[in-house]
Amino acid sequence: MRTAATGSNPTFFLNLLDNDAIISRFSNGGSIPLGIAITRDYLEPRHDSYFAVSLRDGFPPTFQNEIWVDKCDVPYIPLGKVNGLEFPIEITLTSFYGCIAGLPPPHPIPNFVASYSAPSIVTIADGNQIESVKISVTADSLPWAEFDFGYRIGLIIIAEAPKTIPIFSVTELNILTLPPPAIEGSAVEYNNTIDFPSAPGGHFFYSSDAAEQSYIDSGQAGHFQRTGRSFNTGGYVPVCRFYGSQTPGPNSHFFSADQNECSGLKAVQKSPVPIDVPQWNSEGSGFYAVAIVVDASGNRTCLKGTVPVYRAYNNAYAQTGKRNSWDSNHRFSTSHAEIDQMIINYGWSDEGITFCAPA
């Protein structure tokens, strides 16, 4: 899902898996247990704009006086384009009677409401991470079901309320492996030595946005020049992007797919921006990538179908604690040889694999 910057109207898109029956990817091809039916609404111009799910615990529903009296009303849950002023976004849902064809018998119709949470990062059993939106549905203000949708994957978890036991069991989730990510674009590398003469090796910057690239290429952002280097963008987690300021600084950008780094910087960010104290200011997400998996020994690995992106630091704050005369800056590269050159030629530090990019 893609979201607007904080403070503006959040908008995102969700998708089901490729097939209408929603075959579980998490049980070696097995299907969702009986009693759970998920369908798309083919009456919509885009049939994946909504989805409907029948959660029938103890199918068939109770039959009294020749009337199905419960668990027959099924809400349509929007997927195509969901937006609002801020999270959580709440939508009152329409529903249909799913037990018989034709006109339903007289019966009380539940008031279904869907609440869409802000996108958050979910760590799955094998250590991979994916951005996910949780949809919590209530019926007459009581919990009814929860659905988790992973970025570019689709439906990943269903939990029926009030039991809140995932339909996909822990055992099934343990074998989940994300597929190789799609290539969404390219992060172009820029370098500027003229405007940062005291910084060893100059300052590097990365952009995957075509309009921003055109702006930089025009010279309006200073003497940034393309280096001819780039790496693919795309994956399952957003890469957060921060900028300081020209004064008091740091006059630089910072990128990270490490959610601890991202949340840590956001936690110390003051608003309004101080005019005399340096700080990093969030600019939202720069692009998407794949988070690294760190094992018990601290080894960093990348998902199959991706390549490591290494990060080097210019030691504006040296490991000794000394504050140098230049602002902090990082270089990112899929070539460790380029990182080695920054270390040898300019005294930068190797920070290892920072995230993974589509191969």
d(Cα 159, Cα 49) in Å, to the nearest integer? Answer: 21
Instruction: List, in sequence order, every residue forming a beta bridge with 67; answer none if it has no partner.
Output: 64
In the prediction, which pLDDT does 207 show? 97
Type of residue found at 215: Y
Query: Tokens 């952009």 belong to which residue?
Result: 207
- What is the Cα–Cα distance from 148 to 59, expressed in whole angstroms? 24
Name every residue whose Cβ is closer than 8 Å to that of residue 224 and which is 6 or more positions away in sequence: 190, 191, 192, 205, 216
Residues in the chain with pLDDT < 70? Answer: 1-13, 15-48, 53-71, 81, 99-102, 158-176
- For residue range 59-110, what is the model confidence (pLDDT) as tens digits? 445 555 555 555 678 888 887 767 777 888 899 998 887 766 667 777 788 8
Q: What is the rounded end-to-end Cα distance, in angstroms, of the chain?
A: 22
In this prediction, residue 95 carries a pLDDT of 86
Question: 69 and 61 in contact (C-beta within 8 Å)?
Answer: yes
| 22 contact partners, CB below 8 Å, separation of at least 6 | 16, 32, 38, 155
Q: What share of the chain is helix, strand, coil (3-state, %, to 5)?
A: 10, 40, 50
- 284 dihedral zone (left: phi>0; alpha: psi -120 to 50; beta): left
Residue entry with tokens 């269903």: 158
| Cβ pair 51, 16 in contact under 8 A | yes
Task: Identify the three-state secondary structure at position 210.
Answer: helix
Report pLDDT digits (tens) over 168-185. 333 333 346 788 999 999
Cα of 340 vs its chain's centroid, Å: 31
Is this structure's pTM higher than 0.85? no
Please give the radius of gyration of the chain, using alpha carbons only, rounded to the nearest integer.
25
Q: What is the pLDDT of residue 63?
A: 57
Residues 6+ apart with CB under 8 A from 268: 279
Residue 338, H or E segment: helix 336-346
Sorted by sequence, the CB contacts under 8 Å of residue 201 that are 6+ apart come out as: 191, 193, 314, 331, 342, 345, 346, 348
- Where do we find the tokens 């309006």? 220
Strand partners, 330: 313
Q: How far apart are CA 183 and CA 357, in angstroms?
A: 8
240 contacts 282 by C-beta, under 8 angstroms: yes
Looking at residue 158, its pLDDT comes to 65
What's the confidence (pLDDT) of residue 13?
65
